[in-house]
Amino acid sequence: RKEVEQDPGPFNVPEGATVAFNCTYSNSASQSFFWYRQDCRKEPKLLMSVYSSGNEDGRFTAQLNRASQYISLLIRDSKLSDSATYLCVVNEGQAGTALIFGKGTTLSVSS
Amino acid sequence: GAGVSQSPSNKVTEKGKDVELRCDPISGHTALYWYRQSLGQGLEFLIYFQGNSAPDKSGLPSDRFSAERTGGSVSTLTIQRTQQEDSAVYLCASSGRVLANTGELFFGEGSRLTVL
């Protein structure tokens, strides 16, 4: 069974904190990986792709560990506006079913 | 509009009634997806359209669910004889290419269905 597992949280952190989320996937043949962000009662939006070499976009860093089959998202200097649910997404191929969404990790940043 | 448009945004219906949910994808996008998201759950794949190819219907939970895409653009998801467990947010997404490594789907705001 294809699975993408995330700690649902919530992660409650103060502004300025550094927080990290992990996500594990079961299919070793998975091809590509992404983090989406979903605000409360809103649609998901792509946050960033996750590359094998790791990638950084401002305060956000994503990493992939294929050997252990997990990806991570690190948020530095958390802002109130970072409060959202972060969805781990794994692409297993070209079929319509290929994008597997995790249930998400909820982050709440407080002042 | 520039984004994916869905209607209605909210729909309350009685058990046993049929409902139609509409999705208008981003102009020029060839791929269109329907997902369902129940409270506290992840996105559940329902159906995928790609250009003129036969749709991937493997995610439809029962034969009460059907979808079509006319003219390669607008799509309608139909749920017949609705049940209470059909209550969820139905999300439509489009993409400008065959599912590739970009992984970027553009979602609409969803249609929130409540079956009483």
DSSP state of B55: P
**Confidence at residue A51, expressed as pLDDT on a 0 to 100 scale:** 84
Burial B7-28 (b: 16+ CB within 10 A, else e): eeeebebeeeeebebebbbbee
**Confidence class for position A16, pLDDT limits 50, 70, 90:** very high
Least confident of A1-5, A60-64, A87-91: A1-5
Higher pLDDT, A1 or A73: A73
The answer for B 33-92 residues in CB contact with A (under 8 A) is 33, 35, 40-43, 45, 47-48, 50, 55-56, 58-59, 91
Alpha-carbon gap, residue A32 to A47, rounded angstroms:
14
Banded pLDDT at B78 (limits 50, 70, 90): very high
Q: What is the mean pLDDT of chain A?
A: 92
**Given B47, B98, B103, which is nearest A99 (Cβ)?**
B103
φ and ψ at residue B58, rounded to 5 degrees:
-65, -15
